[in-house]
A = this chain, B = another copy of it.
Amino acid sequence: MADGIADMRPAAGWIDAGAGTIDAAIYWDPAVYALEQERVFGKTWLCVAHESLVPKAGDFFTSRMGEDPVIVARQRDGSIAVFLNQCRHRGARLCRADMGQAKVFACSYHGWTYDLAGNLISISKESVVDGGKIDKTRWGAVKVAKIHNYHGLIFATWNPDAPAFDDFLGEAKWYFDMMFDRPGGTEVIGGVQKWVVKANWKLGAEQFTSDIYHFDYTHVGTSMAFMPPDMPMGEPPVVNGRQFRDQGHGGVVTTDVQLSDMQTAIAMGMDVLAYNQSRRPLMAETLGALRGHDAQPVHANIFPNLGILPLNQTLRLWQPRGPGEMEVWAWTLVDKEAPPEIKERARLQTQFTFASSGVFEQDDAENWAEVQRALRGPMGRSAVFNNQIGRGESRDPDGIFPGTTDFAMSEAAARGFYAHWQKLMLEDGQ
């Protein structure tokens, strides 16, 4: 595929992270999309599930890695296997259920059977059809190269040369630990919500990586609705915090815990806030005072397509679906140890705010769709977008937060996201 690249790509690449520009082709061009499936989704670590979706041996969840369907299955030894949901005989999907319990996966076409790890264990009528000559060990379902369980999030990659998972997170790990290394661990509320947004997946990923800037404009109506009717609509306060970025990941943490708690009270309710506050001493024991008490994460995205709103307790995958569509797969994330009424309250509030019918969520999705709608003609399609917001600082001037950071309302992490995306796109092979 390398040959076509030079032609397809504008002279300076699609992304000029220095100048802060984005070539609109990355959102609509089918050739870019096809390459992206190979070079981004085929090469990097991808989140496929939360371990709480498959608690017992034989439990499975059918997920996606890019557009490829995969089965995530709990093994009898407690480990987790991830493999392509495709029979090696003539290619039928091995499993049609969204989730469930299985002993084996038997193909509905000619009955070839695979075990929970995707190994081919039976060729139908083997002796009758001279199947003995087929080496079953060579015809198992295609397995991922590596799997990693990161505080309950199951990641997998097709790439045997993918970096170790911690190296993949890089400097951002310090921040993601703050979200996922919760005392007693996390789980997701049962099930999953899926819906289809008519926009390129990167629009969701980029926003969760780097875009607190949109909030006061995109969500103005919802914010107004949440406020007491007689409260004057002033300019909302500027978030006091830092935006981290590394290897395409990004997010924001704030030291204005009081403001963050007020927002939690509004969006999640007083009980959830009180519960969360009660967990901070425990957090501090593990992660120290800064990550325990003194700061709170706001939003983040693990490259490429795992979005997180820690305050709103939503976790979501931006699943690519052609250049102009994505599926959003969303869960409510709760502490495993939280009392049932806190989990229930979180479930209700998260669904109400950030989910298929979420009052905040809706505004984001429609804005992304509006971006896509302007990408039909040659003028709109050849547009260069402005990605220059923020100073692009590298270090926290107060020396509080580690790694590469800018002030919260910056697009530095978006520049990082697209630069990392382009790096993968321009590297040949796996």
* B42/A379 in contact, CB under 8 A: yes
* A385/B91 in contact, CB under 8 A: yes
A41–B109 CA distance with the chains assembled, in angstroms: 27
* B380/A69 in contact, CB under 8 A: yes
A90–B85 CA distance with the chains assembled, in angstroms: 36
The residues of B that contact A22 with a CB separation of less than 8 Å are 90
The residues of B that contact A76 with a CB separation of less than 8 Å are none
Considering only residues 5-36 of chain A, those with a C-beta below 8 Å from chain B are 22, 24, 27
The residues of B that contact A69 with a CB separation of less than 8 Å are 373-374, 376-377, 380
The residues of B that contact A103 with a CB separation of less than 8 Å are none
A307-333 near B? 1/0 per residue, CB < 8 Å: 000000000000000000000000000
* B42/A386 in contact, CB under 8 A: no
A238–B130 CA distance with the chains assembled, in angstroms: 13
Tally of chain A residues near chain B (CB < 8 A): 70
What 4 A-B pairs have minimum CB-CB distances, sorted nearest first? A68-B377, A111-B217, A67-B377, A67-B376
The residues of B that contact A385 with a CB separation of less than 8 Å are 88-91
The residues of B that contact A85 with a CB separation of less than 8 Å are 374
The residues of B that contact A65 with a CB separation of less than 8 Å are 377, 379
A51-85 near B? 1/0 per residue, CB < 8 Å: 00000000000001111110000000000000011
Q: Does A223 contact B (CB under 8 A)?
A: no
> Of A250-258, A268-276, A387-395, which binds chain B?
A387-395
Given A125-B409, A377-B68, A371 and B41 contact (CB-CB distance below 8 Å)? no
Give, as a whole number of angstroms, the nearest-CB distance from A18 to chain B: 13
Give, as a whole number of angstroms, the nearest-CB distance from A256 to chain B: 15
The residues of B that contact A131 with a CB separation of less than 8 Å are 388-389
* B218/A390 in contact, CB under 8 A: no
The residues of B that contact A158 with a CB separation of less than 8 Å are 379
The residues of B that contact A84 with a CB separation of less than 8 Å are 374, 379-380, 383
Considering only residues 345-388 of chain A, those with a C-beta below 8 Å from chain B are 363, 366-367, 370-371, 373-380, 383, 385-388
* A129/B390 in contact, CB under 8 A: yes
Q: Does A263 contact B (CB under 8 A)?
A: no
Give, as a whole number of angstroms, the nearest-CB distance from A421 to chain B: 15
Q: Does A181 contact B (CB under 8 A)?
A: no
Given A93-B374, A375-B91, A378-B38, A213 and B129 contact (CB-CB distance below 8 Å)? yes
Residue of B nearest to A7 (CB): B3
Given A370-B96, A378-B37, A409-B125, A386 and B217 contact (CB-CB distance below 8 Å)? no
Residue of B nearest to A106 (CB): B217
* B370/A92 in contact, CB under 8 A: yes
Q: Does A150 contact B (CB under 8 A)?
A: no
Give, as a whole number of angstroms, the nearest-CB distance from A27 to chain B: 8
Residue of B nearest to A387 (CB): B90
* B88/A391 in contact, CB under 8 A: no
The residues of B that contact A376 with a CB separation of less than 8 Å are 67-69
The residues of B that contact A217 with a CB separation of less than 8 Å are 107-111, 124
A376–B37 CA distance with the chains assembled, in angstroms: 10
A88–B387 CA distance with the chains assembled, in angstroms: 10
* A88/B386 in contact, CB under 8 A: yes
* B377/A41 in contact, CB under 8 A: yes
* A380/B88 in contact, CB under 8 A: no
Q: Does A86 contact B (CB under 8 A)?
A: yes
A374–B37 CA distance with the chains assembled, in angstroms: 15
* A88/B383 in contact, CB under 8 A: yes
The residues of B that contact A109 with a CB separation of less than 8 Å are 214, 217-218, 367, 370-371
A22–B90 CA distance with the chains assembled, in angstroms: 9
